[in-house]
Structure 1
Amino acid sequence: LNEEDHILTAYLGINRARNWQEFTDALQHYSAPSQNFVYADVDGNIGYIAPGKFPIRKEGHTGMVPVPGNGEWDWQGYRKPEEWPKVLNPKEGFVVTANHKVTPKGFPYALTYDWAEPYRAERIREMLLAKEKLSLEDMKAVQLDQKSLLYRDFRLVLELLNPLSERSRTWREQLLSWDGTMAPTSEEALVFALWYTELTRLPEKEVGEAYWDEPRYLLKALREGDPNCDQPGTEYRETCLDFAALALERALDRKEALRARSWGEVHRATFPHAVLTHTPLKRFTDRTVPFGGDRYTVNVGPFVPQSLQMTHGPSYRQIVDLSDPEASLFVHPMGQSGHFLSPHYADLLPLWQRGGYLPMRFAEGGKTLLLEPGR
């Protein structure tokens, strides 16, 4: 551990901050990993800042490839807090952060090259711009949204491909009439996820990975052509639209093998017990529930390509109403107890799954909890 790390000081300062200046001053003690911090106060100010230890590299050293360890390419210190990405009261009137690229065009140095795809941020922005004034219910809708902008991009490929069978033709038309919502009850979401997963196998022989989820590469390849689209062992030279049609056939084969009729049947959120999941008791301690979304939806749900099992999702949801703090809401999955025999071990899971919330009380008073000793 770094003896000069003062991350706890940063968090204490954030909790005591009364304004933007005190908030940013506290974050000067923040080190790593870099995070997206958003700010709002009762005076109507909003802001964003990404603090962290951003190394200063020599010109020509991007950090993307190894360099000699002779000291010539050593870091030249770290970026100063005034160089961190930040904004206070942007002209748009809101702040969006979803692990996407936050640095504007012309930003003087590279923070990272590993940004998330912009789909989630674009969808959030789209929903915020849809109304002049936003309510608590509108913010709920944003957090729970599962409309896939990935589908919107790949819909053009569906329009252009020539189906290889009657079932593919039927499903192509069904997908084209779908709105792209990755709901757990949706059969179209299941077929689209399987089709897209098959598309990610395109560069398999080149990159050495069975599934390579890079939408920008796939779209460029499918629209402009790529040598990987030609299938080995055939006399015909397949185009990328041929590959897309073959991927749809393979997706429908997988669907039949799965015997699933909805996305949530195979795409499930799993909550393993921290210890007992490695024992025969896991059947009593672990929880699993159907869930929608994918890697690119606001209500996120990335999954393993082979099994379609969800890998992670929203572990905590919170909506704070600074005009009326008592109206604020929150929810987290599972429950308040770690004991699997407790009634509160997983009693919040159904609420979290269906998009419900609990009231977040700030003021003293209201209901009183009485604790009596056991007899």
Structure 2
Amino acid sequence: AAGTHYLAGGAEKPLQRSVERIEIAGEPTVEHVVLESEWGPVMPQKAPAGQAYVLRWVAHDLAGTNFRLMRMETAANVDEAVQLAAGAGVPAQNLMLADASGRIAWTVIGAMPKRVGGEDMARPQDWSDGRSRWEGYLTASEQPHIIDPADGRLWTANARMVGGDALKLLGNGGYDLGARAQQIRDGLRAQDKLDEAGLHAIQLDHRALFLQHWRQLLLERVLTPDFVAANGLADYRAEVEKSADAARPDEVGYLLVRSFRLQALKSLFAPLAGLLEANGLKLADLPMVPETPGWALIQAARPDTLPASFKSWPELLQRAVLDSRKELVDKYGSLTAATWGADNPTRVRHPLSAAVPALSGWLDQASQGMAGDSHMPRVHNHGHGQSERMVVSPGHEERGILVIPGGQSGHPMSPFYRGDHAAWLAAEPLPFLPGETTHRLVLRP
């Protein structure tokens, strides 16, 4: 019966109904009805008529909620750590390992389900006949891992680490675009012998390698002499030519190329975004990175894939230039004032400052335009950035580097509240190990 039963193993079973009561001070109690199947709760998302979605989630199983992570503290080497990682009760994520002998490894930490049946686990599955299902969890030997790669280098940058059968085991949890990982990889491989200073330099790399094909597109195909002359874009083209090689805070050209790319992709995917929004979704809900299909569509320039609101592909790209330029000039007053630093300041704010703005100058850390962006090693994108820069070799902690925004104290009146922030802003290395003790705080009963 619709809404009360479901099919499992070819048989009809009743949904289990429970009521969650939420008590609210001074207001009526809210009752939330939860329907449960053997796989998990029925979700409120829209579904085709007569159907519903059920959430199958690792966190609902005992295998996904345990304290196995604590045993990592006593792992003697990377082999032991890789064994312990499989089945640890944490959300699945990249795990990078190194031990004092110089061995390194990558794996996924967390319980990973063993999926059976179903060609595409990124889509809703029909589990009613039992052919598609989870059959327990992957063992340590089954969980993908890389131990002691031949070139002695590993990197992740939240990107996809494996392909083929290993990728089928993991699925797509929303990998980052591979540009940042590639730049880190190339930085690692460019050094025959790695040390702390060299690795710290890679963390600070803000060269705009990812945007160079968009810059080339602008200069070679979009900013034609006639288009530039007709729209007064000589200053625009000059900035793109001279200052788009890196995400430096004082550069205009980088922001111009970046804004052009975002506007071009927005225009290109506007029909799809509109369709999704009409169904209560958004483009970001799709498990894809717009860059890859977007760039392929622009390069192919097929008339049948051009959004209906444009007469030609050159018009779409030229409109992206004009619209993104207008937005920046409206925001900053002039093109020369539209620097990347003006658009990308630090925002290290105390939780209370938003509620009490008058205290923000006392509570918040100093702000300035920052180098870096997404898709490059030095991540800093409109308030989102590196939470710390750490380089340390096991057994050689005295040579390590640790730089954090803010300071060691959480009290605004402490001299250590902002102690390390200036070094973080200036990209200066600080020692990983603590120095001599200058103060002691004793807690007495």
TM > 0.5: yes
Whether the 8 Å CA contact 1:154–1:219 is kept in 2: the answer is no
1:165 is aligned to 2:219: no
Unaligned runs of 5+ in 2: 1-58
Which structure 2 residues correspond to residues 306-325 of structure 1 after superposition, within 5 A? 310-322=382-394, 324-325=396-397
CA deviations on 1:278-325 (whole Å, 9 max, x unpaired) are 2334523234432232221111124xxxxxxx1421111111134632
Give the Å deviation of 1:71: 6.8
Q: Distance in 2 between matches of 1:211 and 1:169?
A: 34
Pick closer, same or farther for the CA change 1:345–1:367 going to 2, 3 Å. closer
Counterpart of 1:47 in structure 2 is 105
Q: Which amino acid aligns with 1:207?
A: A
Pick closer, same or farther for the CA change 1:297–1:211 going to 2, 3 Å. farther
1:66 is aligned to 2:124: yes
Which of 94, 108, 111 is the equivalent residue of 2:153? 94
Which of 193, 199, 203 is the equivalent residue of 2:269? 203
Whether the 8 Å CA contact 2:215–2:257 is kept in 1: the answer is no
Which of 53, 72, 77 is the equivalent residue of 1:19? 77
1:299 is aligned to 2:365: no
How many residues are aligned here?
Answer: 359
Counterpart of 2:426 in structure 1 is 354
Give the Å deviation of 1:122: 0.5
Which structure 2 residues correspond to residues 256-271 of structure 1 after superposition, within 5 A? 256-259=329-332, 260-271=337-348
Q: Which amino acid aligns with 2:168?
A: Y
Counterpart of 1:371 in structure 2 is 440
Q: Distance in 2 between matches of 1:211 and 1:61?
A: 23
Which of 329, 333, 342 is the equivalent residue of 2:401? 329
Q: Which amino acid aligns with 2:156?
A: T
Whether the 8 Å CA contact 1:272–1:282 is kept in 2: the answer is no
CA deviations on 1:84-131 (whole Å, 9 max, x unpaired) are 221111012211111111114453724122221110110011111222
Q: Distance in 2 between matches of 1:17 and 1:134?
A: 25
Which structure 2 residues correspond to residues 78-117 of structure 1 after superposition, within 5 A? 78-107=137-166, 109-113=168-172, 114-117=174-177
1:136 is aligned to 2:191: no
Give the Å deviation of 1:263: 0.5
Query: Please, which moves more after superposition, 207-216 or 181-190?
Result: 207-216
1:246 is aligned to 2:306: no
Pick closer, same or farther for the CA change 1:337–1:108 going to 2, 3 Å. closer
Whether the 8 Å CA contact 1:336–1:344 is kept in 2: the answer is yes
- Identity %, equivalent residues: 22
Q: Distance in 1 between matches of 2:76 and 2:93?
A: 21
Q: Distance in 2 between matches of 1:370 and 1:90?
A: 45
Pick closer, same or farther for the CA change 1:372–1:330 going to 2, 3 Å. closer
Whether the 8 Å CA contact 1:49–1:87 is kept in 2: the answer is yes
Q: Distance in 2 between matches of 1:79 and 1:144?
A: 37
Using structure 2 for the length normalisation, give the TM-score: 0.72
Q: Which amino acid aligns with 2:222?
A: L
Pick closer, same or farther for the CA change 1:368–1:346 going to 2, 3 Å. closer
Whether the 8 Å CA contact 1:200–1:211 is kept in 2: the answer is no
Which of 224, 230, 240 is the equivalent residue of 1:175? 240
Counterpart of 2:259 in structure 1 is 194
Whether the 8 Å CA contact 1:273–1:282 is kept in 2: the answer is no
Whether the 8 Å CA contact 2:350–2:364 is kept in 1: the answer is yes
Counterpart of 1:36 in structure 2 is 94
Q: Distance in 2 between matches of 1:39 and 1:243?
A: 47
Q: Which amino acid aligns with 1:300?
A: V
Query: Please, which moves more after superposition, 328-337 or 318-327?
Result: 318-327
Q: Which amino acid aligns with 1:256?
A: V
CA RMSD of aligned residues (A): 2.8
Q: Distance in 1 between matches of 2:125 and 2:297?
A: 31
Pick closer, same or farther for the CA change 1:148–1:8 going to 2, 3 Å. farther
Pick closer, same or farther for the CA change 1:220–1:5 going to 2, 3 Å. closer
Which of 286, 295, 298 is the equivalent residue of 1:222? 298
Give the Å deviation of 1:152: 2.3
Counterpart of 1:77 in structure 2 is 136
Whether the 8 Å CA contact 2:399–2:432 is kept in 1: the answer is yes
Give the Å deviation of 1:8: 4.0
Q: Distance in 2 between matches of 1:367 and 1:311?
A: 33
Whether the 8 Å CA contact 1:145–1:297 is kept in 2: the answer is yes
Q: Distance in 1 between matches of 2:321 and 2:244?
A: 18
Pick closer, same or farther for the CA change 1:6–1:357 going to 2, 3 Å. farther
Give the Å deviation of 1:249: 1.7
Counterpart of 1:286 in structure 2 is 364
Q: Distance in 2 between matches of 1:315 and 1:291?
A: 14
Whether the 8 Å CA contact 1:161–1:242 is kept in 2: the answer is no
Which of 144, 152, 155 is the equivalent residue of 2:212? 152
Counterpart of 1:306 in structure 2 is none
Q: Distance in 1 between matches of 2:296 and 2:271?
A: 18
Whether the 8 Å CA contact 1:38–1:47 is kept in 2: the answer is yes
Give the Å deviation of 1:142: 0.5
What SS does the corresponding residue of 1:289 show, helix, strand or coil?
A: coil
What SS does the corresponding residue of 2:346 show, helix, strand or coil?
A: strand
Whether the 8 Å CA contact 2:86–2:108 is kept in 1: the answer is no
Whether the 8 Å CA contact 1:149–1:180 is kept in 2: the answer is yes
